[in-house]
Every structure is written in structure tokens, then in C-alpha cells.
Structure 1
Amino acid sequence: MSIEFIGYVSAREQTETLDLSGPEIDPAYIAATALIHERSGFDRVLVAAHSTSPDSTLIAQYAASVTSQLGLLIAHRPGFTAPTLAARQFATLDHITQGRVAVHIITGGNDRELEADGDHLSKVERYQRTAEYLQILRREWAGDRPFDHDGRFYRLRNASSSVLPYQPEGIPLYFGGASEEAIGVAGELADGYALWGEPRANAAELVEKVRSAGQRHNRSLRFSISFRPIIADTEEEAWERAAIIQKQVETRQATILPAQNGIALDDAGAHPTEDTLPTNEGSRRLQAIAAKSARHDERLWTGVAQVTGGRWNSTSLVGTADQVADSLLQYYRLGIETFLIRGFDPLNDAIRYGRDLIPRVRALVEQEDKLRHTSG
């Protein structure tokens, strides 16, 4: 199987450990981050979406303008843009970038945050809308004759598009969500399924559930897992750095004022409250895993997940580059071939991943595949 590395580009430098500074949108930072990822051997970069954040598609477009090969994984929430318009927007950018676009579908997390954009549907209703939305995306991208659609959430007449995806295989649709509703939609309509970093036994169980959901529709999905690798020259130094990072998060949380009118909903370093604690199933899984222990398997660490309530992808693999590469190989053996990795020191960590981690993992996977081919 071919492996894929996905990094992370944001409108400005921001992590759980850093106070926000500078302009809300920093074109120089976007350009530097995109170029570092391209030169470091990443295949794609994720551009996240939130009810208070800059538009993910426009940030991705700017990142594409300063690179020549780097792929884009654009986070997108169904329901706020008409699906026919979204299909044309993504297909247009796919042509501008000559086939570098993929879309990461996010149905929702915290109910209060979704309400900031006027979404008051229940969780079950949101996934029903997502399924209908993706059906329309795929129908318009297919480029057949004009079509009608009569659904619960959308009614279309003579829908069609003159712009189709750049490549014949279309625009990949990644999907997030660990609830039963999410897994059902992913199995039917997604190309890739993304899960947050979990212990191998938990990840294997979730992969099998999604794989079974896909098989019910005669479909095979690609699997992605997200980590925040903490790498140092020795294992001891790596764990020391992990402890420093957790302390930095806790110190920063003590200085952030409680959210008012939802202002701090998008602050990854904010202390979780009853209003801002994520309620999506993926975060609930992280909360349960972190509550059991800060360490799992050989080097999975949930220290940041413990203090942030499982917001975002917050679990780390801690150790030397060789040790972390070996851990990623273990996940590859579960059928996971995409790794979304980003650091707490975004630019410096991306450079180190490209220099020390990505080449090691690619070499291990190549060796693993050769052994499988020989033994098979």
C-alpha cells in the first residue's frame, strides 16, 4: 500500500502552547508553512475549519499558489454552502491546482459552536444532511446529464456543472466522526476515513467497524490517523519535552479568560468548560482513553488530551525518530496508510519530521511491503 503524509497549514501560527499574536491572517506564515511542508516530503496539508476561523478554501488556495506539488485537504462543513455550489468551487480549485484538492468532511462537534453559524439540527439530522450533501457532490462531479434531486434538505432542478474534477478519479472525500451515524455515512460515501490517535487496540476496532460499513456498500476506504509526534535525540529527552509541553498548556490555560459569547470556542489552548467541551464521539473516545492513563502502548501519550478535554487531534507519539517511526509502522500494519502529523512547534517540527521521521517511515513501509510480497 502507498503511504501518505499530511501536515497542517493555518492562517497564522497557533498551537495549544502559544499565545496568539499578529494578524488573524498572516500570508507570510501561510506561505512559509506550505513551502516547508512541500520541501519536507509531505503529500498534503490539512486546512481546518471552524465557526470563527478564516475560510479554509481561501487559505488553501493561497497555500497552493506558493507551491507546485503540495496537495490540499480542505476541511468543509456540509450545510452552510449549497452542495452544487461547493462542488463547483472545489472542482474549480482542483483545476487551478491541477488535481491537488481533497476535501475533509466534518459534520460537527460542539453544538454551541455549530449554533454560531445558525445550525440547530440534532446530531442525527446533521448526518442525514451530510449524506444527502455528499450524494449531490458526487452526482454533480460525475458530469452526466442535468439532474433533479428531491430530498429532505435539498430540492434541485436541472442541476449540472461545466467544471468537473481535474482527474478522472475525481476529488477524494475524507471523512471524520466516530459515532454510529458517522460510520454509516463514511462507509457509503467517503473515500477515506480519519481517526484521531488512539491506542492500537482501539484504532484496530474502529478501523474494522468502518471497513465493515464500507463492505456493505462494496466499497474499500483508505484510513488516516492523526498524531502530534514529539521527537528528540533520546527517548528521555522526548519525554522531558512532552512534560514541558503539558506544563506550557496548563500555564497558558490559567491566563485565558473564560469564553464570552463563544469568543474562545476556537482557542485550542483554552481550558474546557461545560460550554466548550467537545461532545462529538471522537473527542469522547479521547477523553475516555486519557482518563485511564497518560501513556498507552509503547509511546502513545495523552497528556495534552487530558488537559484540553480531547479537543482536536491532541495525542502524541513520544520518542526518538526511530522509535516513533516504528510505532507508525505498527499502525500501518492495522491497515492505516495515511498519517496526519503536526507538532506543537509547527514550523520547526515540520522540518524535523521531514528530515528525521518521514524518510524512516517510508523506508520501513517499503521493507514491510517487500517482505509481504516475498512471503505471499
Structure 2
Amino acid sequence: MAEILGMISSQRGSETDPVTGPAVDPGWIREFARAHETAGFDRVLIGYSSAAPDGFAVASAVLQATERLGVLIAHRPGFVSPTVLARKLATLDQLSGGGRVAVHHISGGSDADQARDGDFSTKPERYGRTAEFMDVLRRALGADEPFDYSGQHYRVEGAHSSVGPVQPNGIPLWFGGLSDDAVRVGGEHADVYALFGESKAQVADRTAAIRKVASATGNDRLTFSLSTRPVVAATEEAAWAKADTYLEKARANKEAGLENNSLRLKHKAAKETTAVSADRLQHLAHVRDVHDERLWFGITKLMGPQGNSSGHVGTGQQVADALLEYWDLGVENFLIRGFDQLGDVNDWGELLLPRLRAGIEERQPTERVLAHH
């Protein structure tokens, strides 16, 4: 089932808005979660880093503050057993009524950030571990009888849980990463493969490569998600003016050293390579500022490798039309987050999401229409 997702933080702040408040601000979490629900989002991503607050605790607060909004909890395999995570996810799913919980697997693009939590494995080792983790997790979430598993990274005997998801296959397994190792793992094991906001040509190339792995391994569940940071306004001119304002604010904050974001790796180890997905965005940003007419890389170029930072700029209808071109390439989920966090969410709820949903309804049979819980 395709979805529109936002991203929630535990404290106010972005590249354009210096972080304020404590690392965990309960009032902000409630306000931000309810804004997403009011705007019409299906789910919100809760990010992960070695310095960030616990995602499961934040997810619980989001679920309690809202009635239908779901969560996508980012998780790094290697620190919690897959059988333990299965019980955590299933318990949260049961407590929240079912269908509101999903998990996003991030193998770890930074050796330095992994080391802060005591993991000194190599990236190839981490991807091998993620493959086994997702395999065991899926079995643990769906097993009616105790099972054994013996792999290079995980071994369990008689694994069994008294709690499962409300519905069979009720907890989607998301995955992110664009290296060759990532494509092999995600193509085989993921329900949803998350892509950064690249050009249509690059997305078409990546999805083809990932689908090839999925087909060869019998993964007929696989769908795709695109991440973007839209800048929308009533007119195209106003939208580009807003983008310019965001860029100047981000530049001023960077120069003032106000980038206090726990989800960003601020101190990268010497000679450490960056994630392939971040490198790909940087390449596009340095070719030109705008691709495919309205895919903007101004913030990407300014801030350097730091995760998804490209976004589509225009009126709500123009941005919806641009995203629907990715839908035509096979992308069925859209993960969008903003720079002016609350303001952008409110703008999207008024200007973008209704038009995006209407466009999807025109393209899909009734049984595959984007659900609005």
C-alpha cells in the first residue's frame, strides 16, 4: 500500500532554523505529529544517529498524540537482536491498533558514527549483517511455531514470540542505501526501498538495478519510495523566492556555526568516505542547481553530504506533477520533509498533498489507490 510520509524530529530545528529546546521536547513532538496528521500524512519517519534520542520512545509519543498517523522507525542492525526487535515492533503495533508501525533498516554509512556505539565492522560486513537481520526479523514477525536460524552474524534456537503484528505482514520492512552491496541486500529483503531525491534518469537507473535483484531472488513484494524536500507556494515565482530565502538562512546559520542537529554526523573521521547515496546527490548538485526543471540542489551544494537535501520547487500542482512523473517510473511512496518545519507541513497539507493524491487516483485502479487512513 503506497503512502505519503513526513519526517518528525524530537526538537525544533533544521538547516534554516537553529535548533531550540531540549533534545527531547514533548510539546514539540505532539504539535509536530498532529500537524502531520491534520495535513493528511499517512506516516512519519523517525531518524537515527548515534547521538539521537531513542526512536521507539519518540514513536510511542507520536502514536499516543495522534489517532491514525503511522510511524517509520529508523533502525541500525547490529545493536539489538532481530528477535528482540520483532517483539518491540509487534508490541507497539498491538498497542497502537495495528498498521501504524513500520521499520526502516539503515546499515550505517559512517564508520565513525558506528564506532560511537561500539561497532567497528566494515561496510560490507554491515550489509551482510543487515541481510541476515531482515531475514530473521521477517521470520520472527510471522512465525507461528518456534524456529532455528544459523548464519554468519545471527544464530537463534527455538525462537518464538507470544506477540505478533495485528495483521499478517503488518509491519513493512523498509531499507535504504545505494552501494552495490546495498542494492543486493535491499533488492532481496525489502518491502520498500527508499531512494534519495535524484533526477528521473537516475531514479529509473537505480530502480531497474534493484528490480533485477528482486526478480532474481523472488522478492515480489518490493516497492519504492522517493525522498524530497518540496518548497511550495501559491505561485511559482513565490516558491523560488522562498527557496532563495531558505538558502540564505541556511548559509547564515552555517557561517554562524548553528548547525546543532543530532541526526547529522558533524565530526566525520579523517579520510572517511561518505555514503554512496550522499555522494550521488553531491555530484548532481555540482553539475547544476536545478535538474528536471524544478528539482533544486541549492541546500545540497551548500551543506555538503548530510542525507537527503534536494527538493522540488513550484506551486502545489507543479510539484505534484513532478512527483507523479516518479510514480510513472514505479515509485509508490513519497517521503517529504521541510526546512520551515511546521510552516512547510501546513503548506503541503493545503497546496500539495490533495493534488498529489488526486493524481495518483487518476493513475491507479481502486484497489491500489493511495490510502488515506
Q: TM-score, normalised by structure 2?
A: 0.93
Aligned match of 1:364: 359
CA 1:325–1:265 in structure 2 vs 1: closer, same or farther (change >3 Å)?
closer
Aligned match of 1:8: 7
User: Is contact 1:103–1:174 with CA below 8 Å preserved after alignment?
Assistant: yes
2:20 alignment partner, SS class: coil
AA aligned to 2:159 is: A
Aligned match of 2:344: 349
Question: How far, CA to CA, are the matches of 1:313 and 1:304 in structure 2?
Answer: 10
List aligned pairs for 1:100-249, cutoff 5 A. 100-220=100-220, 221-249=222-250
Question: How far, CA to CA, are the matches of 1:276 and 1:81 in structure 2?
Answer: 29
Contiguous gaps of at least 5 residues in structure 2 = 369-373
- Identical residues among aligned pairs (%): 44
**Cα shift at 1:366:** 1.7
Aligned match of 2:318: 323
- The one-character-per-residue Cα deviations of 1:229-280 (angstroms, maximum 9, x if unpaired) are 001122122112112211211111112189xxxxx6836496x866598711
CA RMSD of aligned residues (A): 2.1
User: Is contact 2:48–2:263 with CA below 8 Å preserved after alignment?
Assistant: no
Question: How far, CA to CA, are the matches of 2:113 and 2:97 in structure 1?
Answer: 34
Match status 1:332 vs 2:327: yes
Question: How far, CA to CA, are the matches of 2:258 and 2:363 in structure 1?
Answer: 49
Aligned match of 1:63: 62
Question: How far, CA to CA, are the matches of 2:268 and 2:49 in structure 1?
Answer: 18
Aligned match of 1:261: none
**Cα shift at 1:310:** 3.1
Q: TM-score, normalised by structure 1?
A: 0.92
User: Is contact 1:174–1:194 with CA below 8 Å preserved after alignment?
Assistant: yes
Question: How far, CA to CA, are the matches of 2:5 and 2:263 in structure 1?
Answer: 22
- The one-character-per-residue Cα deviations of 1:313-362 (angstroms, maximum 9, x if unpaired) are 10010111111111011111111111111110111111111111010111
Question: How far, CA to CA, are the matches of 1:38 and 1:186 in structure 2?
Answer: 29
CA 1:3–1:83 in structure 2 vs 1: closer, same or farther (change >3 Å)?
closer
User: Is contact 1:6–1:46 with CA below 8 Å preserved after alignment?
Assistant: yes
Question: How far, CA to CA, are the matches of 2:184 and 2:73 in structure 1?
Answer: 22
Moved more, 142-151 or 61-70: 142-151
CA 1:370–1:145 in structure 2 vs 1: closer, same or farther (change >3 Å)?
closer
2:124 alignment partner, SS class: helix
User: Is contact 1:5–1:338 with CA below 8 Å preserved after alignment?
Assistant: yes
Match status 1:295 vs 2:290: yes
Question: How far, CA to CA, are the matches of 1:276 and 1:25 in structure 2?
Answer: 32
User: Is contact 1:283–1:310 with CA below 8 Å preserved after alignment?
Assistant: yes
Question: How far, CA to CA, are the matches of 1:7 and 1:274 in structure 2?
Answer: 30
User: Is contact 1:142–1:164 with CA below 8 Å preserved after alignment?
Assistant: yes
CA 1:135–1:273 in structure 2 vs 1: closer, same or farther (change >3 Å)?
closer
Aligned match of 1:256: 257
1:284 alignment partner, SS class: helix
Moved more, 199-208 or 165-174: 165-174
Question: How far, CA to CA, are the matches of 2:17 and 2:292 in structure 1?
Answer: 29
User: Is contact 1:252–1:269 with CA below 8 Å preserved after alignment?
Assistant: no
CA 1:269–1:191 in structure 2 vs 1: closer, same or farther (change >3 Å)?
closer
List aligned pairs for 1:34-73, cutoff 5 A. 34-73=33-72
User: Is contact 1:269–1:308 with CA below 8 Å preserved after alignment?
Assistant: no
Question: How far, CA to CA, are the matches of 1:265 and 1:11 in structure 2?
Answer: 11
How many pairs are equivalent? 365
**Cα shift at 1:113:** 1.1
1:266 alignment partner, SS class: coil
Question: How far, CA to CA, are the matches of 1:229 and 1:203 in structure 2?
Answer: 17
User: Is contact 2:296–2:311 with CA below 8 Å preserved after alignment?
Assistant: yes
Question: How far, CA to CA, are the matches of 2:281 and 2:295 in structure 1?
Answer: 12
CA 1:319–1:63 in structure 2 vs 1: closer, same or farther (change >3 Å)?
same
Question: How far, CA to CA, are the matches of 1:348 and 1:34 in structure 2?
Answer: 13
Aligned match of 2:262: 266
AA aligned to 2:127 is: Y
User: Is contact 1:113–1:265 with CA below 8 Å preserved after alignment?
Assistant: no
AA aligned to 1:210 is: I
Aligned match of 2:30: 31
Aligned match of 2:371: none
Match status 1:306 vs 2:310: no
